[in-house]
Amino acid sequence: MKILVTCPPMLGLMDEFYSVFEKHNLTGVAANVTQVMSEDELVEILPDYDGWIIGDDPATRRVFEAGKSGRLKAAVKWGVGVDNVDFKACKDLGIPITNTPGVFGREVGDVAMTYLLGLARETYRIDREIRQNKAWPKPSGVSLWNKTVALVGFGDIGRSTAKRLLACDLKVIAYDPYYKADASLDVETAAWPDRLGEADFIVFTCPLTPDTQHMFNAGTLEKLKPGVRIVNVARGPIIDEAALLSGLESGIIHSAALDVFEVEPLSDTSALRKFDRCIFGSHNGSNTVDAVRHVSHLAIDHMAGFLAQRG
């Protein structure tokens, strides 16, 4: 049985996984994709596969219906985020599906902390100036020990990020409607957007849902402390980029570090590019060799289990 893989981090190490597929009597097939495949592309090719390991592709009802009309018997969403996957369509069509929850907390937490430090001390900007302009800049950064972070999301990634923030003597206010206290993490809590005016940094680690889409918007700007720094390692549409641009242009927002965007890859003409204190990533926060190996093995195991049940 053939399994289509469209997840870029897994594809980056795909040579390691062909033998793992074979141990389960499966054939892994690497898609030709940089970030995501289009809905039309998936509709065309998915019917030829028995299983699909999904990245951030548009896993819509139309795509699953096309797959079901052919050979598709099971699917696995690689990683944690599931906002791009129509689970109800799978249920209606009788296609078993799961994701790999509870992974990447440490890896994404590391990136969130790296970005926050980069914004605080402008280390990325210094590097660019030295390399590109042969300059020798010495911007005055800000210390962390007397600063407050609004941490949006307190799941696995949020808690891992909080652990790192607290280690740097930052005060943390956690925002999560499903907040569960962790005795090892000395954080305060609030309901969004209460107390945002206290925050020197805002860090987004929450999932994308109808409630979180554009939760940072034009109305949020008037609640911010001037000079706040924004980090997003969650999903791009959580931030309304028009509002973010407005805040950057006015100076209310000092800078932003974005691993994710509303539209990916970031357009060559994006107005965000003119702000040289900002830091941009490529939706790569979870991508370490160790994590990719771990999660890819989980995904293959889940797929093999589904297909064994289906006979």
Number of domains in the chain: 2
Alpha-carbon gap, residue 204 to 157, rounded angstroms: 10
Active site residue 293: no
Residue 149 contacts residue 158 (beta carbons within 8 Å): no
Same domain, 75 and 149: no
Where in the sequence is the domain holding 199, given as residue range(s)?
A: 105-280
Same domain, 271 and 240: yes
Same domain, 29 and 136: no
- Detail the DSSP E strand segments found in the chain: 2-5, 27-30, 51-54, 74-77, 97-98, 148-152, 171-175, 188-189, 201-204, 228-232, 253-258, 279-280
pLDDT attached to residue 311:
63
Residue 251 contacts residue 77 (beta carbons within 8 Å): no
Same domain, 194 and 273: yes
- What's the Cα-to-Cα distance from 222 to each of 110, 117, 250, 258, rounded to whole Å? 30, 25, 11, 21
Active site residue 264: yes
Same domain, 276 and 162: yes
* Burial class (CB within 10 angstroms; exposed 0-12, middle 13-18, buried 19+) of 139: exposed
Same domain, 54 and 193: no
Burial readout 16-44 (b: 16 or more C-beta within 10 A, e: otherwise): ebeebbeebebebbbbebeebbeeebbbe
**Residue 47 is which amino acid?**
P
Q: Which long-range contacts (CB under 8 A, 24 or more apart) does 212-220 make?
A: 212/238, 213/237, 213/238, 214/238, 214/239, 214/240, 214/243, 215/152, 216/240, 216/243, 216/244, 217/243, 218/242, 218/243, 218/246, 220/193, 220/196
User: Residues 121, 264, 277, 294: which is the catalytic one?
Assistant: 264
User: Residues 125, 235, 254, 302: which is the catalytic one?
Assistant: 235
Same domain, 90 and 214: no
Enter the pTM of the model.
0.92
3 state SS of 239: strand
**Residue 52 is which amino acid?**
W
Contacts of 49 (CB under 8 A, 6+ apart): 2, 3, 4, 29, 67, 70, 71, 72
- CA angle, corner 5, sides to 44 and 21, nearest 5? 125
Same domain, 128 and 65: no
Q: What interhelical angle do 105-121 and 156-167 show, nearest 10?
A: 40
List the one residue out of 198, 227, 232 whose CA is nearest residue 216. 232
pLDDT attached to residue 34:
87
Q: What is the CATH number of the domain that holds 299?
A: 3.40.50.720
pLDDT attached to residue 310:
78
Same domain, 80 and 198: no
Residue 119 contacts residue 279 (beta carbons within 8 Å): yes
Same domain, 97 and 111: no
Alpha-carbon gap, residue 150 to 168, rounded angstroms: 15
Same domain, 66 and 205: no
Residue 272 contacts residue 241 (beta carbons within 8 Å): yes
Active site residue 277: no
Which residue ranges of the chain lie beneath pLDDT 70? 311
pLDDT attached to residue 87:
98
List the one residue out of 214, 218, 221 whose CA is nearest residue 252. 221
Neighbours of 269 (CB within 10 A): 6
Residue 1 contacts residue 50 (beta carbons within 8 Å): yes
Tokens of 119: 């914004």
Same domain, 262 and 304: no
